[in-house]
Amino acid sequence: MIWKKPWFQFSILLILAFVWGSSFILMKIGLKSFTNDQAAGIRMLLASLVLLPYSIKNLKHLKKKDVKSLLVAGFIGSFIPAFLFTKAQTQIDSALAGMLNSMTPVFTLLVGVLFHRTKFQVLQVLGLVLGLLGAIGLIASGNGLEIGHVNSYALYIVLATCFYAININEIKARLSHLSGMQITSLAFFFTGPAALFYLLTTDFAPVIENPNWPIHLLALAGLGIIGTAIAMILMNSLIRYASAVYASSVTYIIPIFAIMWGILDNERITAFHLICMLIILLGVYLINKKK
């Protein structure tokens, strides 16, 4: 089984980091025409629609004992965090959002230890600390981070990372008998109607006043289809075969791709950036290192 291979798991982490590292840009573009709640709702609805054929196909695998965990995966793992992130993005910069998002592995370990009796190794904790320090150093070195802009909206992202941690541990503990596609499609089968119902209550008249709204909708489509539906299939598959903390360490790698985007935009990369990247990769390696 290729999913059990460490090199393949790390490759999936890199793909997820690239996709989610680009999500902040797509979110920012979508917010130019749509309200933060509309952007989140569209993201979730489009993800649910693209997964709908698979949702219907996998209904035969839906067991009563799995419904609670699938609701957690759908609403706690994706739906509510989507709204929390777009809300936060209206008042804080992307750099701070990335830094706060790096709290996910820490919360994942805490939730696992406190509620799922997850065993951990000293090397895992060391890897967590190194990864967090590397991510913070990488983001703090950017020009976009303004500590003066830290406000109550930052708590929305902290709450989202807590929800991510709950979701990852729930899937690892109770849904490992299902495939990543089954978990994702069945979870989004429940969130789709909720997203549609919410969007029908919003006012789209101001949106169409912006002549560029189709471009902004296209950005949200990419966010929903690639950054949510496909990415969650990969993530939920990874959770089945790797440790919960290792899967969540993708948030440490996301800032690396943010730097890469900066290079393409003619930003300068320094030795400090490279050192932070190496620290992050070392931390991720230690998190997944076997005894």
- Averaged pLDDT in 10-residue chunks for the chain of 291 residues: 91 93 85 96 97 97 96 97 90 69 86 85 86 77 52 83 95 95 97 97 94 96 96 96 89 77 66 81 79 53
Range of the domain at 76: 2-288
**Is the separation of the CB atoms in 41 and 223 below 8 Å?**
no
Print the SS3 string covering 212-238.
CHHHHHHHHHHHHHHHHHHHHHHHHHH
0.75 cut: is pTM over it? yes
Predicted pLDDT of residue 2: 92
Retrieve residue 278's tokens: 């190496």
CA distance 68 to 77: 13
Q: What is the structure's pLDDT at 5?
A: 92
Composition of the chain by helix, strand, coil, percent to 5:
80, 0, 20
Domain count within the chain: 1
Q: How far is Cα 31 from Cα 42, in angstroms, rounded to an integer?
A: 11
Report the pLDDT value the prediction gives residue 23, as an integer from 0 to 100.
Answer: 84
pLDDT, position 88 = 86
Length of the chain: 291
Q: What 3-state DSSP class applies to 105?
A: helix
What is the helix (H) or strand (E) element at residue 81, kind and residue range? helix 80-89
The Cα 80–Cα 163 span in angstroms is 8
The single-letter DSSP state of residue 269 is P
